[in-house]
Every structure is written in structure tokens, then in C-alpha cells.
Amino acid sequence: MNQLIVNNIYKTFNTFGSSKQNPALKNVSFSINEGECVVIGGENGSGKTVLMNIIAGLEEADSGEVKTSSRPGLVFQEAETQILGETVYEDVSFGPKNLGWKKEKITESVQRVLEITGLTDKADFPARFLSGGEKRRLAVACMLAMDLSIIIFDEPYANLDYGGVKQVNALIRELKAQNKTIIILTHEIEKCLALSDRFIVLFRGEKVFDGPAREGLLQKLENWNIRNPLASYNCFEDLVW
């Protein structure tokens, strides 16, 4: 079942100080099924963030359309910018409260997602003093508390140490077990490709590859300014963090 359809998305931006239009995305199309985990890779400036913003409804495309069966939840690269509550519990309950849910439903939802994201013991902890990995888990908990089934990660490994990467990947595994649809936009593909069902590559605003992760590693990724992880690892299985 298709949960997200991206159809011929085209987006341009004005060059600073000029009326010239530069394309950021050039007729990008793909569909993602319910429960799929898809890594969208590409160098900086390839169009990943623009595409993410369009899917999440934060920007409008010049042409094309996005169809989705569920409103996507977005985990920003700087997860701290999404913190709105003083404590972890207050932050997770913020969304459901604004949706007008009853107190009992909010309590049940918050307790459930804190357990899923491994933050139950941090419920009363000041949210801004969490580690980087914990802040990303908190951002996901906020999405899950509102019963969102599509989660988009924008560069989830930025500024994380080894422990933080392990935390994020453990969370992604848990989301997969919950049959959530996951989109990971990153240039650090070696950290998450082994978790994915599919690999999509953007290069200069165009989709240049869409297929299984193992098949993607057989492509000449260097032609798209992506470092092939197999240059440092012996085989696909070595990419498991």
C-alpha cells in the first residue's frame, strides 16, 4: 500500500542578487509503501532538504504534487529547535494538548511513546539538557505521541558521537518494528544503509538511483559525490552499527 507518493516535483530558487532561476529539484518522482524504511542520500546541495520540506508541507513545489495517507512528522537536523516543553514529559505532551485530546488520552499516549523511545526514566528531566541522541529520540517521541505514522529524519547523525549514532539506530529499528514509515535524508549513508529497505540518490536536484541498498553500493557513487562505504568496509553486513 502506497503511503507517500511524490509525483514530478519541480522547484526553483532565485540566485541571490539576480533574477535567474536555479532548479533545486527537477521532476523528482517516487512512492513509498507503508512500513518501508528509505534512505535518501546525496551530497550537500543535492536537494534533500528542499524535498523534505515539500513532503512535510513546509514549502510548496513550483509544480508536481505530494500525496500522503498520513501527515508526516519531521525530525530536524538540530533537534533542539523542536523542544517546546521544560521537561521531557511536557515536551511530548505539547502536541496532543494542542490537538485538543482529553487528559487521559494524552497521559496514555505520552507514557506509551516514552517507553518506545527509551525515555521513560527521563520523563521529569530538563529536555534541553539531554544528549544529542536523546534529543532526537525526544523529537520522535513528540511525533509518535500525535499518532503520526510517517517519520522523516533530516541528517539524524549530525554532530553525534558513536554512542549517539547507536541510540538513533536503535530507535529506527524500534520504529520499523512498530511498522512506521521512515525516511532518512543523509550524506552519511554508511551509518544507516543497512537498516533500509530502499536507497534513493539525489544529484543536482535529480533522482539518479532508486533501488535496494545492496544494489546501490554497486553503483559508482563517487560520480554523484557520495563516498562508497565499501571503500572502508569489507561487505554490506559490516555497515550494521
Give the per-residue pLDDT at 107: 95
Among residues 201, 200, 139, which one has the least CA distance to residue 172? 139
Has residue 209 got a pLDDT over 80?
yes
Has residue 19 got a pLDDT over 70?
no
Burial grade of 30 (CB within 10 A; 0-12, 13-18, 19 or more): middle
Q: Per residue in 111-132, is it b (16+ CB within 10 Å) or e — as a string? A: eebbebbebeebeeeebeebeb
Residues 15-20 have a mean pLDDT of: 65
Has residue 235 got a pLDDT over 70?
yes
Instruction: Name the residue with higher pLDDT: 122 or 15.
Output: 122
Residues 155-172 have a mean pLDDT of: 87
Give the per-residue pLDDT at 13: 85
Burial grade of 141 (CB within 10 A; 0-12, 13-18, 19 or more): buried
Indicate the pTM of the whole model: 0.86
- Nine cell digits for residue 203: 544529484
Residues 7-29 have a mean pLDDT of: 85
Among residues 82, 87, 107, 86, which one has the least CA distance to residue 97? 107
Residues 148-154 have a mean pLDDT of: 90
DSSP 180: -
From 126-130, 164-168, 172-176, 205-209, the region with the lowest mean pLDDT: 164-168
Q: What is the overall mean pLDDT for the chain?
A: 90
Backbone angles phi, psi at 125, to 5 degrees: -80, 140
Has residue 33 got a pLDDT over 90?
yes
Give the per-residue pLDDT at 16: 66
Among residues 188, 202, 203, which one has the least CA distance to residue 239? 188
Q: Tell me the one-letter amino acid at 146.
A: M
- Nine cell digits for residue 69: 495517507
DSSP 124: T
Query: For residue 130, what pLDDT band results from cuts at 50, 70 and 90?
Result: very high
Task: Give CA–CA dist 54/97, Å, rounded.
Answer: 26
Task: Give CA–CA dist 241/175, Å, rounded.
Answer: 16
β 37-41/198-203 pair status: parallel
Cβ neighbours of residue 144 closer than 8 Å, sequence gap 6 or more: 73, 113, 116, 117, 151, 180
Give the per-residue pLDDT at 26: 96
Write out pLDDT tens, residues 164-201: 888 889 889 989 998 999 999 998 999 999 999 999 99
- 3-state DSSP assignment of residue 223: helix
